[in-house]
Amino acid sequence: MSRAPRHVRLFRALLRLFPSEFRGDFGDDMVEDFRDQHDSASRRGGLAPVVRLWTRTLADHVRRAPREHLDILRRDAGYAMRLLRGRPALAVSALLTLAVGIGLNAAVFTFVRGVLWRSLPLPESHRLVDVRQVSPPPDSEPTAVSPANLIDWEAQSRSLDGLASISGRDLTLVAGADPERIRAATVSRAFFKIVPVRPAAGRLFIDTDYSPLVAAVQARDPKQPSSPADPTAVVLSHGLWLRYFGGRPDVVGRRIRLGRLTVEVVGVLEAGFAFPGSESAECWLPDVPDPIQRRARYLTVVGRLAPGVPVRQAQAEFDVIAARLAAAYPDANAGRGVRVEPLLERLTASVRPQLWFLLGAAVCVLLIACANVANLLLAHASGRRLEFATRMALGANRGHLVRQAITEGLLLALTGGVAGLVLAWWALPALVALAPPTVPRLDEISVDGSVVAFAALMSLTVGLACGLVASLAAGRVDVTGALRSAAPGGTNRGRVRQGLVVAEIALALMLVIGAGLLVRTMRQIGTIDLGFNPAGVIAIGLSPDIQKYGPEGAKAQFEADLIDRVRALPGVVAAGIGSRPLAGGGMGTRVTAPGDTEKVTVGVDAVGPGYLEALGARLESGRFFDRRDDSRAPLIAIVNQTLARRLWKNAGVLGQRVITDGRELRVVGVLADVRRAELEAEPPATLYLPTAQTRTFWTNNMLVRTSGDPFAVLPSVRTVMRQIDPGQALTRIETLEERLSKATAPRRYILWLVGLFSIMALGLAVIGVYGVVAESVAQRVPEMGVRIALGATISDIMRLILTESGVLVGCGIALGTLGAVALHRTMSAFVFQVSTTDPATYVAAGICLVAVTAATCAIPARRAARIDPVRALRAE
């Protein structure tokens, strides 16, 4: 055959825009027609008619071809719809499975995105960084920042456009109506430049708001650290302005009382502004970092990257600055580094691994759901071999059948996706409501366009995957074979289905193992020796006015009065002033034993008489503090066992001396280690000092141990407080058991969710196994008939079926175990004192899967064993 002219070849190429079916039906005719059109145009002479023909044809094809594709899609979808309507059980189970899988993932994705990925609700928030100091190695823990270092950073940094400190304190607002306890944020000068926000009324801080503070800091005698100067201006949050001042514009310019401060309201922030990490702040005060304080690290520092500067570059610059400051001020800064981190990452660091884990678990459930649906479609396709073969014999090619299968998959997945989205809509609020409050940015989670896009993308992928797997059946139709015998068969397809079931079991096992490890972790945490007894203890926050109780002895007198009266209340066993356990943070210092050169880093707690008794700390030797240990008495301390071991190898500790901050203290007691700050961290070496002998501590917390319901004593404690100081409110009231429960809440949350996911996974896997085994039994009815006719007993047949399914389950378990072992490093972030390859957990999870699947497979196995051989053979 001679080669076609060039314009014909070009036209043929253009025809490729149309679907193959259309081309097959009309392509040759179209080519012939075009050839005639072209000849006629050429005959008319000149290039113009030919060019006109080409332009018109090209435009026409481009416009027309998509319509033809859409037409076919509509036809396939209509066909798929009719098929699914004809098999409602299949359609409903596939839809439900997909809805659960996609809905779960959409909900978890929205949750994770809202917390981890969505940018902070501030302009150009990607440029905001958190800057912290890092303690010397080997700890290398991030710490807060000292004011003097902040001043030097501001002067030296070029990679940041600005640095500012923010810290919080509670103040009592008095402005007419009832006094109210509110949270104040104090910010240094650059803060509102770094974090741009507009005032809704009045103005933000200007230099004159800071000048009295600067003057006070400069005029101060460096030898006499005293309380810094008082701010004179305040900016209110929009919420406080509405709530307390009724949104009146004339509040700007008014003077209000905040604790002992008298400040002028200079402005109100715009509605909705909240600085991440200080969301509860209701008023803002100016603050100037104190250049004398280089060793006291208590500031939170936020910076803004200069335009175009990556975090890496800022970190490199701060490494140099840190080294310079360490050389200049070795006592305060030797060995200390600086860490620059995007603010968003810093805020979410504590929950990031858990949320990733949750997302992984949800994806596992989705994969299992996918495998199940692919399996259902495959089973469905097996039943349709005759139909496929007939259609192929009538001229459909394999491509059409594959496309048909994919359309079915997509139709199911998209419908499932819509249902899933509805499910996510409903599940998300529950997910948020049940989340522990320690998860940051919970209030920023909402369903939005991106979730719909995510669900759509997921549905498309799932539909395509399911359809492709199902089309394996279509692609392998043996037309003559299938037409000759309508009996189902096809070992290849059977293998695919078995492979899918093995994968499902493996994934389900991995989830069950994960859940098992979390359960063991929770139990392990339950066995932690806290070093104190939380039962019956209530913690009450105090808010003594610094002005009133600042003078020497006034606070000690107030505390002694309060504790004496509270202890005398009925139902109270012990009471004392001191820190709240498991609240994180805490102060630290370094101590030495006389004659020793080694400096030991210790946590310090200043506690009043009765506190350790109220806490239920265990005294190993010596005594607790009492009323005699006042400021005039010899300086004493109690150490915990870890410190006793570090300094004196636990021998002859009582009466030993420790030196800290140039003072020598005599040890009067040894305590069993108490988990003061963190539940899961080994308690550090700790030094307890009597409050009366420390002036730098300002503890605003009281513990009360009761003999019954701790809340029952609260009214009488309030009465006592009113008698002693009517202006003081009791705040932050909680029992230590609540505190403990809060400390484990994130783990419990993850455990519940992963537990729920693994139950779903198990359920889906069981459905998958059941489907495959039941189908295999159905296919082998005649064979079973023969076996029974030849004398096989019920238990023989059951053993046969169970052995077969046992192989599948066994393969799945082997694969799942390998998968879990492969991921055990990832799991180690979530467990506590449990090995991530803990054999007991693995075995228990395996047994659980075997038991569940065996129970499921027993149903079709019994059916097989009950087959009536006569009927089975007659049907053949």
Positions in the binding site for another protein (CB under 8 A): 18, 22, 25-26, 28-30, 32-34, 36-37, 40, 56-57, 59-61, 63-65, 67-68
Q: How many helices (H) and strands (E) in the chain?
A: 28, 22
Closest by CA position to 401, among listed 713, 79, 134, 773: 79
Q: Are 506 and 846 in contact (CB under 8 A)?
A: no
Count of positions (residues) in the chain: 876
> Which C-beta is closer to another protein: that of 37 or that of 779?
37
Asked if residue 683 lies in contact with residue 589, where contact means CB atoms within 8 angstroms, the answer is: no
Contacting residues for 473 by C-beta, under 8 A, at least 6 apart: 378, 381, 382, 384, 385, 388, 405, 490, 493
CB atoms near residue 808 (< 10 Å): 23
- Between 37 and 700, whose beta carbon lies closer to another protein? 37
Give the nearer residue to another protein in terms of CB position, either 11 or 241.
11
Q: Which is nearer to another protein, 59 or 851 (CB)?
A: 59
Q: Would you tell me how many other CB atoms lie within 10 Å of the CB of residue 395?
A: 9
Amino acid found at 192 = F
Smallest distance, Å, CB 64 to another protein? 4
Which helix H or strand E contains 587, and what residues bound it?
Answer: strand 587-591
16 versus 312: smaller Cβ distance to another protein: 16
CB nearer another protein, residue 9 or residue 56: 56
Whole-Å CA distances, 62 to 8, 20, 56: 18, 15, 10
CB nearer to another protein: pick between 67 and 632: 67
Residue with tokens 């975090």: 311
Structure tokens at 785: 């008939």
CB of 82 to another protein, least distance (A): 16
Minimum gap (Å) between residue 38 Cβ and another protein:
10
CB closer to another protein out of 31 and 786: 31
Pairing of strands 261-269, 199-202: antiparallel
Q: How far apart, in whole angstroms, are the C-alpha atoms of residue 697 and residue 144?
A: 18
In the bound state with another protein, the residue whose beta carbon lies nearer, of 400 and 676, is 400
Alpha-helix runs per DSSP H in 606-735: 611-615, 641-648, 714-724
Closest to another protein by CB, 26 vs 770, is 26
Closer residue to another protein in complex, CB, 40/557: 40
Tell me the β-bridge partners of 340.
Answer: 131
- CA distance to 130, 358, 601, 785, per residue, from 872 (Å): 75, 49, 82, 5
Q: How far is the CB of 310 from another protein (least distance, A)?
A: 52
Please state the three-class secondary structure of 202-260 as a single string: ECCCCHHHHHHHHHHHHHCCCCCCCCCCCCCEEEECHHHHHHHHCCCHHHCCCEEEECC
Please report how close the Cβ of residue 30 comes to another protein at its closest, in angstroms: 5
* Closest distance of CB 26 from another protein, Å: 4
Spatial distance between the Cα atoms of 765 and 815, rounded to a whole number of angstroms? 14
Identify the helix (H) or strand (E) that includes residue 602. Answer: strand 600-607
Other CB atoms within a 10 A radius of the CB of residue 481 amount to 12
Q: How far is the CB of 473 from another protein (least distance, A)?
A: 28
Q: How many CB atoms lie within 10 A of CB 788?
A: 22
Smallest gap, in angstroms, from Cβ of residue 56 to another protein?
Answer: 5
* Rounded least distance, CB 806 to another protein, Å: 51
In whole angstroms, the minimum distance from the beta carbon of 79 to another protein comes to: 15
To another protein, the closest distance from the beta carbon of 482 in angstroms equals 25
Q: Which is nearer to another protein, 12 or 799 (CB)?
A: 12
Q: What CA–CA distance (Å, rounded) separates 230 from 286? A: 9
